[in-house]
A and B are shown apart, each in its own frame.
Chain A
């Protein structure tokens, strides 16, 4: 169902959502630093940032999450589970790449063998309102990674900024709940033409220049390639690329507190940290950044496609933008391929 929301109605529309739901959206913590968090007031929402630093994955998979508390009463150990909030939730203003990434994480967390209740609870309760990318950045390569700047998959409602209004599509059952929303209006044919124009412009900008296609097979043959000896060299082993990655989903569980009372917490973890693979004996099967960088790239582009038929990269470009030593994952992808676009010539990494 295709509808329209005038910009002048945007505030009352969102205010209504804030009142009725737990609404999550992009917020600037500081000029240029954007994250997704719970919105209490309309004014907090900021849609000017092209791509938040932290992706909205943390709305479903928080960086640090208490799983349960424990307490010893007399001789009895008690486990106290935490009640999830009852309120329905809305994620507003997420980009198609980040929404695609949530589906990717879901493949791991809601699988045939295991179900992660913490993720699933939040996912079930959330309606996703996607926002089309009119102005993808030069670091974006979603189309090469199987998505596109206007990919609707995963969104329940999809917004496209037409300037004076938002073009609104209701895509799923959850989205259709809004079909009688008093702020939505009928569209007219010229809106559709405009949407098409915006889409074409964005597609053209993103292009298909990064050879993600076929990377799984290429990496099959590269387990001990000398490629790994060079590609890792400048990596300093921080966790930026994995924490800001919308698809990275590794976590570590710790008990905080003492044996009388405490809580079990899970925190994001990163394969680029030596601690990640350090065993109790002191042995580390991934002793240097060579092995750790290989793990990061192999997981995204070889192991994950083997398990789930899809690369674990959506081409959002965050790891390129925020790497302190300017490691460009596009270059790594390109170097696995014989087809190299001209602008990436001039040596490795």
Chain B
């Protein structure tokens, strides 16, 4: 069982002091949730868990742990973030020990909650089903009907980069062809696209959770926080909210692994991955580049070739 193997590996690494700490997932206090867990002693290894609720991209923690040797549990998308970050020289190569877990695709807790009436008090997985229980109901749901949008079209579930792989590599076929919301978005006219974007960003409360959970958002000073020069105001005017969301997304071009952490973090349920995933598809089409696949190829927007496409310069 994957969970058992994660614990064994963690115990081994901590016992022989190969790492200072391991970041994995622990049991949440709420149903349908796991929580990032930092452990430093082999006695704590049994607190590590693995299930379809391990939704966080833990590589985001590396920025504040540069002085430690870290053992990190990574899914396919998380490992891609690690490759993207190492291209940007965010850590020393020997600073990490990656425990790769082929991912079963993560369950969208909010969609599960919306599928039932009443508060979910208990939930567990059984094969390809999720069983949720409340005070006066017990419902069985098909797991694959409740996946995060970013997980549905994922074709890199097995970590490309890992020091050890627990569990067997999975078959890399997407459940659906394209991210469901990207497909919808592409069908819209530019005016409709703008209205959709406007409506989504209007709910923003500027908590910056999307920025903080993103492993690629690590600027020492984010453009929204800069007061000299001041790029934008700090209130809730539509132009400021839209400016934040458009620049946040564009800053990810060629750098986003499509993990979906930003969208999962948003308390206002703003759709965010339709934008980043659309950019990912554009980058793939225009430059034949996918983030975090090849540790030797820098992202297209941070390099240049003499024969680069130039027809957009008029």
A interface residues (Cβ-Cβ under 8 A, vs B): 29-33, 50, 53-54, 63-64, 135, 137-139, 230, 233-234, 236-240, 243-244, 252, 254, 256, 265, 267, 270, 273, 275, 288-289, 320-322, 324-328, 330-331, 343-344, 346-347
Contacts and interface: CB of A to CB of B under 8 A. Distances in A.
B208 A326 contact: no
Contact of A326 (B28, B44, B119): B28
A210 B235 CA distance: 36
B264 interface: yes
Interface string B10-38: 00000000000000001111100111111
Nearest to B221: A275
B26 A347 contact: yes
B119 A236 contact: no
A289 B225 CA distance: 17
B35 A234 contact: yes
Interface residues of B, number: 43
Contact of A238 (B26, B36, B44, B209): B209
Nearest to A270: B207
A347 to B, nearest CB: 5
Contacts of A320: 29-30
A32 B30 contact: no
Which of A239, A327, A331: most chain B CB closer than 10 A? A239
Given A254-B233, A326-B30, A330-B29, A238 B203 contact: no
Given A30-B269, A33-B269, A324-B213, A54 B205 contact: yes
Contacts of A327: 35
- Would you call the interface of chain A mostly helix, strand, loop, or mixed? loop
18 contacts: A31-B114, A32-B110, A33-B268, A233-B38, A234-B37, A238-B207, A239-B208, A239-B209, A322-B267, A324-B261, A325-B35, A325-B36, A326-B33, A328-B28, A328-B30, A344-B29, A346-B27, A347-B47
A252 B56 CA distance: 31
B268 A53 contact: yes
Nearest to A330: B29
Interface in B216-251: 225, 233-237
B265 interface: yes
A289 B65 CA distance: 12
The 6 closest A-B pairs by CB, nearest first: A324-B265, A64-B235, A238-B209, A326-B35, A239-B207, A322-B267
A33 B110 CA distance: 11
Nearest to B224: A275
A229 B119 CA distance: 34
A139 B30 CA distance: 8
Contact of B207 (A50, A230, A243): A243
Given A138-B119, A325-B36, A239 B269 contact: no
Given A29-B203, A50-B119, 13 more contacts: A233-B36, A236-B213, A237-B212, A238-B211, A238-B265, A243-B207, A254-B233, A326-B34, A326-B35, A328-B28, A328-B29, A328-B35, A347-B47
A73 B307 CA distance: 56
B68 to A, nearest CB: 12
Nearest to B240: A64
A168 B311 CA distance: 69
Contacts of A233: 36, 38
A331 B30 CA distance: 12
B267 A53 contact: yes
Contacts of A265: 233-235
Nearest to A278: B225
B188 interface: no
A167 B64 CA distance: 53
A236 B60 contact: yes
Contacts of A346: 27, 47
A234 B235 contact: no
B113 interface: yes
A238 B38 contact: no
Nearest to B202: A29
Nearest to B121: A138
A139 B28 CA distance: 12
